[in-house]
C-alpha cells in the first residue's frame, strides 16, 4: 500500500464462509474494503461487525447477483464509483484497487442426467462467467496501475481430471484453475506488477455443503484457516494455492495415476457425500 494512497480490497461472496473470513482478515491489514454478495442484509451485518471491532474501518457494500449480467455490471460500476471518489468520505485522497478476490460460487451434487439444468447453468454463470468477466475487467484496472493482486477461488476439484456426481461443479472449477494459471504466465512473461493466484482447497466447513446438498466424507478445514493460508500464498506470489498437506498429497498423486482410475476413485468419494 503506497503512502497517501487508499488501496482497496474487494471481496465477492462476502456474505458467508471463506468470503466473510477474507473480509475480516483483510481489514486488519489496514485496507478499506468493498464487500459484495446477493444478500444485502448479511453484508450490512458483516459491515457492522467489522466496524465494531475496527471502528476506523472503511467498508463499502455493493449488493449484486453475479449470476446475472446486470449484477456483474453493478459490481464493476460500484467499484469504479468508490475509486473515482463518488462514495468516499475523503474524496481528495487518491485510490486504487489493490486486492480483488473472486469468492462467489456454489456447488451441486447428483448424477448429471438427473441434475436440474437451470441450477447447473446458474452455477456456470456464477462460477465461470462472472469470474471470467470480473478477472478481465479488474486486470485491466490493475495493469494500468501496474500493481495489484487477484485471487480466484477455485477448488482442489479443479485440479482433478473429472468429478462424477459433481460433474458441472468440477468442470467449472477446472476452468477457473486453468484460466488463472494461463493469465499468471502471461503476466510473468511481460514482467507485470500484477499477480494472480487461484485457491484450490479441499473440504472447507461452510454453507457450501448445505447449498450443494452434500456431506463431506473427509473432515474439512475451517474457513478462517483457509482464508489465512490463501492470503499468505497470494501475497507470497504463489500461483496455485493448496492449503493443506493432505490435499497437496492428493493433488500430487493425481499426476501419477491414470486419469480413468483417478476418475473412478473420485466417483467413489463423491457417492459418500449423498
pLDDT tier at 92 (50, 70, 90 boundaries)?
low
pLDDT tier at 158 (50, 70, 90 boundaries)?
confident
Average pLDDT rounded to a whole number, residues 36-55: 94
Q: pLDDT value at position 143?
A: 95
Q: Classify residue 130 by its DSSP letter.
A: I
3 CB-contact burial (10 Å; exposed 0-12 / middle 13-18 / buried 19+): exposed
Question: Phi-psi bin for 13: left (phi > 0), alpha (psi -120 to 50), beta?
Answer: left
- Is 152 in contact with 94 (CB distance < 8 Å)? no
DSSP for 185-230, written as a single string: HHHHHTT-SEEEEEE--S-EESTHHHHHT---SSPPEEHHHHHHHH
Write the pLDDT tens digit of every residue in 212-264. 455 555 567 899 999 999 999 999 999 999 998 887 787 777 777 777 777 77
pLDDT at 169 over 80: yes
Average pLDDT rounded to a whole number, residues 99-107: 94
Domains of the chain: 6-271 (3.40.50.720)
pLDDT tier at 191 (50, 70, 90 boundaries)?
very high
Q: What is the pTM of this model?
A: 0.87
Amino acid at each position: 500500500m503506497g503512502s497517501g494512497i487508499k488501496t482497496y480490497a474487494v471481496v465477492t461472496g462476502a456474505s458467508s464462509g471463506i468470503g466473510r473470513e477474507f473480509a475480516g482478515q483483510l481489514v486488519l491489514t489496514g485496507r478499506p474494503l468493498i464487500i459484495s454478495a446477493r444478500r444485502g442484509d448479511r453484508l450490512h451485518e458483516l459491515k457492522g461487525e467489522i466496524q465494531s471491532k475496527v471502528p476506523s474501518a472503511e467498508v463499502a457494500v455493493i449488493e449484486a447477483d453475479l449470476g446475472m449480467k446486470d449484477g456483474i455490471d453493478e459490481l464493476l460500476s460500484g467499484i469504479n464509483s468508490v475509486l473515482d471518489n463518488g462514495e468516499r468520505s475523503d474524496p481528495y485522497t487518491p485510490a486504487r484497487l489493490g486486492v480483488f478476490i473472486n469468492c462467489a460460487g456454489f456447488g451441486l451434487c447428483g448424477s448429471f442426467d438427473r441434475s436440474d439444468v437451470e441450477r447447473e447453468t446458474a452455477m456456470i454463470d456464477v462460477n465461470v462467467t462472472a469470474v471470467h468477466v470480473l478477472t478481465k475487467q479488474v486486470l485491466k484496472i490493475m495493469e494500468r496501475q501496474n500493481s495489484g493482486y487477484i485471487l480466484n477461488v477455485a477448488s482442489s476439484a479443479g485440479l482433478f481430471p473429472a468429478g462424477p456426481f459433481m460433474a458441472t461443479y468440477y468442470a467449472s472449477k477446472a476452468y477457473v484453475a486453468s484460466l488463472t494459471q494461463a493469465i499468471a504466465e502471461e503476466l510473468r512473461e511481460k514482467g507485470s506488477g500484477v499477480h494472480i493466484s487461484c485457491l484450490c482447497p479441499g473440504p472447507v466447513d461452510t454453507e457450501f455443503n448445505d447449498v450443494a446438498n452434500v456431506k463431506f466424507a473427509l473432515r474439512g478445514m475451517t474457513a478462517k484457516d483457509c482464508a489465512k493460508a490463501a492470503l499468505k500464498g497470494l501475497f507470497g506470489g504463489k500461483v496455485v494455492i493448496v492449503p493443506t498437506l493432505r490435499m497437496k498429497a492428493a493433488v500430487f498423486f493425481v499426476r501419477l495415476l491414470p486419469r480413468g482410475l483417478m476418475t473412478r476413485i473420485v466417483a467413489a468419494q463423491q457417492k459418500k457425500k449423498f
